[in-house]
Amino acid sequence: MNFASDNWAGVSPKLAAALTEAAAGLAPAYGGDDLTARATTALRDLFETDLEVFFVATGTAANALSLAATSCPGGIGFCHADAHIANDEGGAPAFLGRGLTLITMPGANGKITPDALSASLSHYPQDPGQRGTPRVVSLSQVTEAGTVYTPEEIAEIGYVAHGRRMAVHMDGARFANAVAHLDVRPAKITWEAGVDILSLGLTKTGAWCCEAIVVFDEAKAAHVAAHRKQAGHLFSKSRFVAAQMLAMLDDGHWLELAGAANAAAARLAAGIEASQNARLAWPCQSNEVFAHMQTETLKRLQEAGATLYPWTARGTTVDEVPKEGETRVRMIANFATTDADVDAFLSALG
């Protein structure tokens, strides 16, 4: 009954085996090795386009360095008020982004809309003046509400952003879960929809450490290699990430893992919908489930051995706020979550 986070999970056995296999022999350092080259090719195949790949240590680094690459002195980024970059990265976007300012906006279902973005941009005339220069909009796919942008929603935001010569960044810490949910070609929710740079995170999917910055449009994201080096994120033994990436992409393993996590979450969400003791806060579209429940219910579940946490949010609309006496909780399934785990929880929930 542990739904704390998907980064509490270990790694898929297939990845452990891949790392063992890659352990022997010499290979050029700093990404000059064959496995890194093969991982790049695999990603080009997956996304059906030319692209550049830069491994980094964490999702926070992938996000902040992506934003840095799109920015300039006085650059401004836009995102949802509950975005991970604005709340949970300890200031990395401002620091690694060399003074990047983030402007946030609320929005239903954890999403920003083209209209909300346009309204935010109306504060910024074309001539930058004192206010700084809009440079990037960042979308979380999966969002912080566990929901998933449709290709059309992304494309509309991309249209607004590109109209202001801004870049579009996607925080794909749970990109696999979004692809599995939508059942689309990855291209369709990235560069085909206007995404210029992607934080592709497979750590939560089931790797030890497999985070990459994927650049679709180099004209919009410059100096990534140098940003990465200066932030201390250029791995010497790059192939240990590449081996994980290759194992993930081999034969659709990443979607297999994400699909399993999504299915566990769907089972959990269905059970909650059927329960009198909780109600879904947002539709379940990934491996995350958010629910409102009486604070006493939460206590009871925790005493029964469930691991789950209250979830505060800033960017919610009025009807998304917990009612008096309720707490909003987050539950996250991972690739190894079993039906038994879910059913035990639902049984405790009642």
- Give min distance, CB of 152 to a second copy, in A: 28
Q: Determine which residue in the list 41, 118, 165, 232 makes contact with a second copy, applying CB under 8 A.
A: 232
Q: What is the DSSP letter of 307?
A: B
- Give min distance, CB of 259 to a second copy, in A: 19
Q: 170 φ, ψ to 5°?
A: -120, 125
- Give min distance, CB of 138 to a second copy, in A: 15
Q: x/- binding map, residues 327-346, to a second copy, per CB under 8 A?
A: -------x-x----------
Q: Is 288 exposed, middle or buried (0-12, 13-18, 19+ CB in 10 A)?
A: buried
Which 3 state secondary structure label does DSSP give 173? coil
Rule CB under 8 A: which of 255-284 touch a second copy?
A: none
Rule CB under 8 A: which of 114-173 touch a second copy?
A: 122-123, 128-133
Rule CB under 8 A: which of 77-116 touch a second copy?
A: 86-102
Q: Is 218 exposed, middle or buried (0-12, 13-18, 19+ CB in 10 A)?
A: middle
Q: Which is nearer to a second copy, 16 or 270 (CB)?
A: 16
> Does the protein bind a second copy through residue 72 (CB under 8 A)?
yes
Q: x/- binding map, residues 31-70, to a second copy, per CB under 8 A?
A: -------------------------xxxxxxx-xx--x--
**Taking a C-beta distance cutoff of 8 angstroms, is the pair 146, 136 a contact?**
no
Q: With CB under 8 A as the contact rule, which of the stretches 14-22, 150-158, 182-190, 261-269 interacts with a second copy?
A: 14-22
Question: Residue 74 contacts by C-beta under 8 Å, 6 or more apart in sequence?
Answer: 99, 128, 132, 133
Q: At what angle do helices 253-274 and 239-249 cross, to 10 degrees?
A: 70
State the number of binding residues for a second copy (CB under 8 A): 86
Rule CB under 8 A: which of 206-225 touch a second copy?
A: 208-209, 223
> Does the protein bind a second copy through residue 321 (CB under 8 A)?
no
Q: Which two tokens stand for residue 335?
A: 């690739």
Q: Which is nearer to a second copy, 31 or 146 (CB)?
A: 31
- Give min distance, CB of 135 to a second copy, in A: 11
Q: Determine which residue in the list 54, 235, 290, 335 makes contact with a second copy, applying CB under 8 A.
A: 235
Distances (CA, A) of 130 to 49, 124, 165: 39, 9, 18
Q: Which is nearer to a second copy, 192 or 211 (CB)?
A: 211
Sheet holding 101-105, edge to edge: 52-56, 211-215, 197-201, 167-172, 133-140, 75-80, 101-105
- Between the CA atoms of 330, 262, 55 and 59, what dihedral angle is there, to the nearest 10 degrees? -10
